């Protein structure tokens, strides 16, 4: 799905940190065009042969970057998103987890009123096998193919993609939208992209308890999707009112349960599996 990974000139916000530096090298090895990084006060430094700038605005002016990946700590991540949007970055991918919900609510509204697209926060980013990696999805578990994968959970994504690859079922693009209550890109957004992508023949949607993203996706699948969608929803045994991993993975007031989402997806015509190991069998 080239609309999100090809022709991307990528900045790393927080490049000089441990995680930012490590994943800069990983993304570069995967073929991603990393043009520089941003770390206030470290302008003029170099990391893995890439220049570091004091601000996103200056970095964009010099490198013509159009994409940013954010690795800065949670306390500063909201400001990092604002800075990227204000600098005209088209695609902002926020890996950072633990951003306060009130901060993200404000960021969500700000981004929606801009020309930028935000993926995340608390997400693994995007990988198009054989093309580019923009985030932290392990490149070695994937292989090129025609199955689009969209998920709220990073770890579940890696496991499913690894299983698909082991059975020679390749992927067109893998997108992690993040597990927080407020995320910039939803299941519906990605389903629409996959539906319009000629390189994607089938879609795997990996959900979990909490929120209503999967229920909204079910309505979209029923009305708009022509391609086969295979789904798995984690958390059937999760107790109510207890957070399970992600900040958004919590069942409150009887809403957001796995059962509720499974029923909605099945009624929409999606194929539902109860074990992620079964996904490859359905794709075959």
Residue numbers annotated as active site? 246
Q: Which residues pair with 34 in a beta bridge?
A: 10
Contact call for residues 137 and 127 (beta carbons, < 8 A): yes
Name 126's Cβ contacts closer than 8 Å, sequence gap at least 6.
4, 5, 93, 119, 133, 134, 135, 137, 173, 174, 175, 176
Q: How far is CA 239 from CA 55, 82, 176, 253, 258, in A?
A: 45, 36, 25, 12, 11
Residue 263: strand, helix, or coil: helix
Residue 190 sits at the vertex; the CA angle it makes with 185 and 192, to the nearest 5 degrees, is: 125
d(CA 204, CA 173): 11
Q: How far apart are CA 38 and CA 43, in angstroms?
A: 8
Tokens 């995340």 belong to 120
Nearest in space to 89 (alpha carbons), one of 12, 29, 27, 180: 12
With beta carbons less than 8 A apart as the criterion, state whether 3 and 175 touch.
no
Q: Which is it for strands 144-151 and 202-208: parallel, antiparallel or unpaired?
A: parallel
Nearest-CA neighbor of 187 among 209, 162, 206?
A: 206
């Amino acid at each position: 799905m080239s609309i999100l990974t090809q022709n991307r000139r990528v900045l790393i916000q927080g490049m000089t940190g441990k995680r930012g530096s490590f994943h800069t090298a990983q993304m570069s090895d995967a073929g991603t065009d990393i043009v520089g990084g941003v770390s206030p006060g470290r302008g003029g430094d170099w990391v893995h042969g890439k220049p570091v700038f004091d601000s996103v605005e200056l970095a964009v002016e010099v490198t013509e970057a159009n994409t940013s990946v954010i690795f800065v700590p949670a306390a500063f991540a909201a400001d990092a998103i604002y800075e990227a949007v204000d600098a005209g970055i088209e695609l902002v991918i926020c890996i950072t987890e633990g951003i306060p919900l009130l901060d993200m609510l404000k960021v969500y509204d700000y981004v929606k009123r801009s020309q930028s697209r935000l993926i995340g926060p608390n997400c693994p980013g995007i990988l198009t096998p054989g093309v580019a990696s923009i985030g932290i999805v392990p490149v070695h578990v994937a292989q090129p193919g025609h199955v689009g994968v969209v998920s709220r959970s990073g770890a579940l994504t890696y496991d499913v993609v690894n299983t698909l690859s082991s059975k020679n079922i390749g992927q067109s693009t893998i997108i992690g939208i993040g597990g927080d209550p407020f995320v910039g890109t939803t299941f519906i957004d990605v389903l629409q992209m996959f539906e319009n992508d000629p390189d994607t023949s089938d879609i795997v949607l990996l959900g979990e308890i909490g929120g209503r993203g999967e229920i909204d996706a079910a309505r979209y699948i029923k009305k708009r999707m022509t391609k086969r969608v295979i789904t798995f929803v984690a958390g059937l045994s999760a107790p109510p009112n207890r957070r399970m991993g992600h900040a958004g993975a919590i069942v409150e007031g009887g809403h957001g349960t796995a059962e509720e989402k499974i029923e909605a997806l099945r009624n929409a015509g999606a194929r539902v599996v109860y074990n992620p190991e079964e996904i490859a069998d359905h794709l075959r």
